[in-house]
Every structure is written in C-alpha cells, then in structure tokens.
Amino acid sequence: NAGVTQTPKFRILKIGQSMTLQCAQDMNHNYMYWYRQDPGMGLKLIYYSVGAGITDKGEVPNGYNVSRSTTEDFPLRLELAAPSQTSVYFCASSYAAGSSYNSPLHFGNGTRLTVT
C-alpha cells in the first residue's frame, strides 16, 4: 500500500519556469491538501480539495493552481516560478475532514523545490 506518493523528490527551477508537482493517493480518500513548509514557518495551506472536481484556496494560493480530475490525483502547478516559492511542498490526504467527523492526514514525503 503506497499511501501518498509525491514526485519529484527534488527540483531546481529557474525564475520564470513552470512545473507541476504530482501527488497521488491509493486510499480512496476524498480530501486532499497541498502545504508548503518554509524554514521556521510551519505548514501553510496552499489549496485543498474535498472531492474530484472540487478545489478551494487555502492560506497562500497565489502563484499556484490545482486540479482534481480524479479521486487519486491532485497535481499542483507553479506558473512563473519565483524565489519566494522555494520551499518543501507536502501533499496530504484524509478520509474525512470538517467539523462533523475528521480523520488524520496522511502525508507524502515532500518535494524540495529551489527556485534560482
């Protein structure tokens, strides 16, 4: 059982380039999340999705786009990369979220992105 798989593990981008961070889960979870972790700054929510075809902005969505065409996949797109997007990106999934019932997040191993 792979859980949450993120690719690539590392990437260096030049300013202005674009790329897609891949995230796939095999647990049939409806809820998926993208976070970025800057040094000493904790995890900031970029985008999230409560099911295929539904996405919503988190705390820091600017400079990113997402899509959710299937339950399994939740790619994160960076357009026109900037040095401020240098960070570690974590994808996570959950069986349930919200206030009625909530289950823990399963995290991928992260993608370390450097923009120079």
Asked whether the bond before 8 is cis by omega within 30 degrees of 0, the reply is: yes
Residue 39 binds another protein, judged by CB under 8 A: no
Beta partners for residue 16, in sequence order: none
**Which 8-state DSSP code applies to residue 41?**
S
Report whether 114 contacts 101 (CB < 8 A): no
Among 28, 41, 62, 116, binds another protein (CB under 8 A): 41
Output the smallest distance, CB 109 to another protein, in A: 6
Contacting another protein (CB under 8 A), which of 22, 44, 63, 73? 44
- Binding another protein (rule: CB under 8 A), the pick from 40, 60, 95, 114 is 40
Q: How far is the CB of 91 from another protein (least distance, A)?
A: 11
Give the list of residues 6+ apart from residue 40 with CB closer than 8 angstroms, or none. Answer: none
Nearest approach, Cβ of residue 59 and another protein (Å): 7
Q: Is 1 in the site for another protein (CB under 8 A)?
A: no
Binding track over 81-110 against another protein, x by CB under 8 A: -------x-x-x-x--xxxx-xxxxxx-xx
Beta carbons within 8 Å of 16's beta carbon, 6+ residues apart: 80, 81
